[in-house]
Amino acid sequence: MKIAKQARRDAKGLFRDCIRDGLLDENRVREVVRRVLEAKPRGYIAILSHFHRLVKLDVERRTARVESATPLESRLQTKVQADLTKLYGRGLEISFKENAALLGGLRIKVGSDVYDGSIQAKLAALRESF
């Protein structure tokens, strides 16, 4: 238990060191992982796994997944991109994906925020209300 706590604290410190100008610096992340694996400090596996988790959450927070039933036209893509950047600031990685199950509309997920304007979600809400 003690080790786990210390490992979490260390991982957090390392994670903080990887932030440059408010954004996660990928090169530094690689560097940190390499250095830790070289030095093998006490509980380094625990440190790295918590570090991995923090990075994963940060990446998720900065990743927007835009899903639509049919491929989005490039003009729309630019607009969604601009809107999201306005909302979440720079450094947002945006990926576009097709998902026929949505039937229509868009579903956007940024970190744990979800904007669901898909027909599928509306049908589900309708079903719930019965």
- Residue with tokens 């070289």, as numbered in its chain: 38
For other proteins, the closer of residues 45 and 87 by Cβ is: 87
Min dist CB 64 to other proteins, Å, is: 12
Give the interface with other proteins as residue ranges (CB under 8 A): 53-54, 57, 60-61, 68, 70, 72-73, 76, 79-80, 83, 87, 104-106, 108-109, 111-117
10 Å Cβ neighbour count for 112?
A: 8
For other proteins, the closer of residues 10 and 68 by Cβ is: 68
- Residue with tokens 């639509």, as numbered in its chain: 68
Min dist CB 102 to other proteins, Å, is: 10
Could you tell me where the DSSP H helices lie in the chain? 2-17, 26-39, 44-61, 74-88, 119-129
Min dist CB 72 to other proteins, Å, is: 7
Strand partners, 24: 19
